[in-house]
Structure 1
Amino acid sequence: MLGILCNRTYRHLFAAQVIALLGTGLMTVALGLLAYDLAGPDAGAVLGTALAIKMVAYVGVAPVAQASTDQLPRRPLLVGLDLIRGAVALCLPFVTEIWHIYLLIFVLQSASAAFTPTFQATIPDILPDEGDYTRALSLSRLAYDLENLVSPMLAAALLSVFSFHNLFAGTVAGFLASALLVLGVRLPVARPGPRSGIWDRTTRGMRIYLATPRLRGLLAINFAVAAAGSMVIVNTVVLVKTDFSLAEPQVALALAIFGAGSMIAALALPRVLDRLSDRLVMIAGACLLAAGTAAGILVGSFGVLLMLWLVLGFGYSAAQTPSGRLLRRSAHPEDRPALFAAQFALSHGCWLICYPLAGYLGATVGMDGAFAAMAATGLVGVVMARRVWPSDDPAAVPHHHPDLPADHLHLRSFGSHDHHHHPFVIDDLHARWPT
């Protein structure tokens, strides 16, 4: 897996991702402490609102930002967005009002909503071989899981020496280092998309996404992932501290075990995907998530919770890590940024629904009811994925173009009206999937 790091451009981008994630992890810890400093016992409500603002920015800003910046060169765009994020992090230690937090978080997460899809869409152009790209996806998943493990430990070490305000300096340093690493390489020039109005460019990724059966299946799997993941992220602290009467170290341990399960799957996936289809692996992962969430009703001890969280972490990674392969396969290179932005917005839309649902159910009907409801939600996602994503999902699909003249370049390139067969993606000539 580490062989792809021999590619200098990818190595720089991966290092930029890891360092920026560590900085973001430090900011997460510092933001919680800042909220408590400003709001005291109401800090949870402040953080919940900040998380909702983050998701709204991700869902609403990503497609618009991509459409507005699709003609800009990638390297200065990514560097500029890193600098914006660093500037916002630099301002956070000086806030004195809660609304300042909300405003700065919206600006920072809006920049991230533009940065992340552009970054993700660049990797397939750097690593055109599907095997290499699969390994890059697994490394990216590992980076996210390591951030969940390392950032809290690093924050704890720094807090033993400095005040929490200094953690924001680590965030600024992370974004600056990311900008320098991106600045140090030459990125492939993005193929320009079709010239059209801003509304058409904003909605193009969504239209391609929702017209492609395998991506409609991916959306259903995103929903199953969010249903199970929200139970872990939102309710771990309640389960550990209230149900089992344990302390903060055990909360951190439970979340670390979830991350460990995800890392195990990420390490295994490149070899698994060489033998099994993306559909089989991702639906199996989603089934594991739904079944594991239902099994939460039976958890009676902290040890059993840890085993369950390990299983859920494995399913979490298996269900979502291959998604980049589906996106890469489902669009022309010039449409990939729009498609990655659509995936970014739609997947976070699933989390925007499931985060408050998991928290509300846990608080009102109890954990057993929350586990049952979120398991049912995940099962709906699995059933929909199986229905809308055909098991026979070839890249090349026979189809017809009765509206094109016989001498059209597309027909001359790929065959006649009656014998037309090529790798099929949604574009200006193929507005609908063949039935």
Structure 2
Amino acid sequence: MNFTAFLSENRNFRFLWLSQLISALGDWISYVALTLFVIDRYSNSVQALAWITLSKTLAILFFGPLGGAMADQHNRKKLMVIADLSRFFLTLLLLFSPPLWALTLIVFALNILSCLFTPAYYAIIPELVEEKNLLAANSINGVTANSVWLLGTLIGGVMVAAIGYRWAFLFDALSFLLSALFLAFINYRSQKTAHFSLLMPFQQTYQGLREIKKSPPHLIMFAVVFGFFLAGGFYNFVQPLIIRKELGLAEVYYSYALALTGGLMILTSFLLGKYGQRVPRPLLVQISVLLGGIAFILLGWQINWATVVIAAALVGISNSFGGLGMRTFMQEITPNELRGKVFGLIEPIINSAMAIAAFGGMVVLKGLGYNWPLKLSGIFLILVLFLAIALNRYNNLQSDLSQQNISA
């Protein structure tokens, strides 16, 4: 599919995409600026970064499901606009160099608003594009997100060095304002008429969990996502340690590895969007898990710069297959009234897996070193592959039953 033609023909998705493009660029510029600000501003920078990370994780774990419930109960476009405008005002507070306790609260509040925005964003896509174009739409999002990640981190470092933190924070704040403006141009009428209630998000979350528990494809996919990010989180944790401490290479080599992963994520997302329309979504997830397992086993078998490069490349391809396959599959099989709740659960699952991997990695590395934990992570992903295969078989069985019912 021609991405340019797709964007030009689909006005509503074009404005949604533009909102993601500008706000994501601001987010990554601000991420670099915030990290460098914490390191330079506070004497105990390690502890300060830990508090910032903890505040982000707690916000996602506790408010991710609630944000998903609200995305199913209220007008999704309005929720995204409210989240963007609120983040605009909150980000402006960073211009005043707040103390650590205030900075932690600001980051916590910003991530609560992200929990409101993200499920609504992914849940509204199937309402703006035809089902046959979902993979293409998600592919465009994937290419954009990965491109902006590479560009934003580069611009953020240059901007901080050249003109200071405040300009980076101001750019991020203005990006939220511009994102809200793009969203306002989307022609979207929601049928949801629910009135606001403090208890309603909790009630809707509980009801949504009860419905999702009855759906084997959702439960299997959640298990696959958790397993994938548990192993992937450990890889993310040890990759810079291997490059700097095990191999003794300069910091720039870590940037090279990240750039390789990001570049292949962009390329793979583009190719899948253009040529992968007919590939079954569970098969994309299977390929993703298999490539990740191979990468970790290879790196654990022999640690050198060549295997680091190969692993980084395989992880980039794996991430694209997994991300596109998972999101598109979830959008296709989930009823509209549950879609926000499903995507509201995914972020807490991912973040809890990554947190367990990071804390577990600190313990495991002391006793086993790098090799065996990496091998075990790869073997674990091969086991997760069987879950992904079960998902594909269940999906095929359901399709066959549907065809038989239609024929009857």
Q: Could you state the TM-score of these two structures normalised by the residue count of structure 2?
A: 0.88
Superposition deviation, residue 56 in structure 1: 2.4
Decide whether the 8 Å contact of 1:224 with 1:289 is kept in 2.
no
Amino acid at match of 2:134: Y
Deviations for 1:171-205, whole angstroms, at most 9, x for unmatched residues?
A: 11211111111112222425568x99654411233
Query: Which residue number in structure 2 is paired with residue 336 of structure 1?
Result: 339
Partner of residue 109 from structure 1, selected from 108, 111, 126:
111
Determine the structure 1 residue equivalent to 2:248.
Answer: 245
Give the AA of the match of 1:356: F
* CA separation of 1:52 and 1:160: change in aligned 2, threshold 3 A: closer
2:317 corresponds to: 314
Asked whether 1:346 is paired with 2:353, we answer no
Deviation string 1:293-316 (CA, Å, 9 cap, x unpaired) is 121113443243122201111012
Structure 2's unaligned 5+ residue stretches are none
Alpha-carbon distance, 1:208 to partner? 3.4
Do the aligned partners of 1:290 and 1:378 also contact (CA within 8 Å) in 2?
Answer: yes
Partner deviation per Cα, 1:124-163 (whole Å, 9 max, x = no partner): 1000232x11111111111221122111211132134211
Write out aligned runs for 1:169-318 (5 A): 169-191=170-192, 198-270=201-273, 273-318=276-321
Equivalent in the alignment of 1:25: 28
- Contact (CA 8 Å) 1:225, 1:378: kept in 2 or not? yes
Match of 1:16 among 15, 19, 42: 19
Letter in 1 for 2:263: A
- Aligned-partner Cα distance in 2 for 1:166–1:210: 46
CA contact (8 A) 1:58 1:109 kept: yes
* Aligned residues: CA RMSD: 2.8
Structure 2 residue aligned with 1:34, among 13, 33, 37? 37
Q: 1:274 to 1:67 in 2, by over 3 A?
A: closer
Structure 1: how far apart are the matches of 2:134 and 2:345? 20
Structure-2 residue corresponding to 1:144:
145
SS of equivalent residue, structure 1 residue 189: coil
Helix, strand or coil: the match of 1:67? helix
Q: Is the contact made by 1:75 and 1:186 (CA closer than 8 Å) also made in structure 2?
A: no
Counterpart in the other structure of 2:121: 119
Q: Show the counterpart of 1:414.
A: none
Structure 1's 188 and 127: CA in aligned 2 closer, same or farther, altered over 3 A? farther
Amino acid across the alignment from 1:170: F
Matched residues in 2 for 1:212 and 1:272: separation? 30
**Change in 2 beyond 3 A, CA 1:209/1:71:** closer
TM-superposed CA distance for 1:397, in Å, is 7.4
Instruction: Give the distance between the partners of 1:302 and 1:319, measured in 2 at CA.
Output: 25
CA offset digits 1:37-68 (Å, max 9, x no partner): 2334x423432332233222222202223334
Partner of 1:355: 358
In the TM superposition, residue 252 of structure 1 has moved relative to its aligned partner by 1.3
- Report SS of the residue matched to 2:26: helix
User: Which shows bigger deviation, 176-185 or 67-76?
Assistant: 67-76
Query: Is the CA contact (8 Å cut-off) linking 2:123 and 2:339 kept in structure 1?
Result: yes
Bigger helix fraction: 2
When residues 244 and 116 of structure 1 are mapped into structure 2, their CA distance, relative to the original with a 3 A threshold, is same
Displacement of 1:364 in angstroms is 5.3
2:78 is the counterpart of 1:76: yes
Secondary structure at 1:321's aligned position in 2?
Answer: helix
Alignment of 1:410-429 (within 5 A): 421=405
Closer/same/farther in 2, CA of residues 331 and 17 from structure 1, 3 Å limit = same
Higher relative contact order (CA 8 A, sep 6+): 2
Give the Cα–Cα distance (whole angstroms) in 2 for the partners of residues 377 and 155 of structure 1.
Answer: 36
- Secondary structure at the aligned position of 1:374 is classed as helix
Deviation at 1:330, TM superposition (A): 2.2
Rg larger in 1 or in 2? 1
Identify the range of structure 1 (283-292 vs 356-365) with the bigger mean alpha-carbon deviation. 356-365
Distance 1:231 1:262, change over 3 A: farther
The aligned residue for residue 100 of structure 2 is: 98
Report the equivalent of 1:409: none
In structure 1, C-alpha distance between the alignment counterparts of 2:189 and 2:360, rounded to whole Å = 41
- Cα distance change on mapping 1:126 and 1:68 into 2, 3 Å: closer
Aligned position for 1:46: 48
Deviation at 1:278, TM superposition (A): 1.4
> What CA deviation, in whole Å up to 9, does each residue of 1:2-33 have, x standing for no partner?
13212111111111101111111011111111
C-alpha separation between the residues in 2 aligned to 1:181 and 1:392?
Answer: 37
Q: Is the 8 A contact 1:244 1:302 kept in 2?
A: yes
SS, match of residue 393 in structure 2: coil
Q: 1:367 to 1:11 in 2, by over 3 A?
A: same
Partner Cα distance (2:373, 2:34) in 1? 27
Aligned-pair CA distance for 1:253? 1.3
Going from structure 1 to structure 2, the CA distance change for 1:151 and 1:166 (only over 3 Å counts) comes to same
Q: CA distance change for structure 1 residues 69 and 260 in 2, over 3 Å: closer, same or farther?
A: closer
- Secondary structure of the residue aligned to 1:276 is coil
Structure 1 position 5 matched with structure 2 position 7? yes
Change in 2 beyond 3 A, CA 1:91/1:376: farther
Preserved CA contact (<8 Å) 1:209 1:342: no
Matched-pair contact (CA < 8 Å) for 1:23–1:170: yes
2 CA distance for matches of 1:46 and 1:225? 29
Checking the alignment, whether the CA contact within 8 Å between 2:23 and 2:172 is kept in structure 1 is yes
SS in 2 for 1:393: helix
Q: Cα 1:392–1:61, aligned 2, differ >3 Å: closer, same or farther?
A: closer
Q: 1:366 to 1:313 in 2, by over 3 A?
A: same
Task: Structure 1: state its 5+ residue gaps.
Answer: 400-418, 423-435
Aligned residues: 401
CA distance in 2, matches of 1:21, 1:281: 25
Secondary structure of the corresponding residue to residue 239 of structure 1: helix
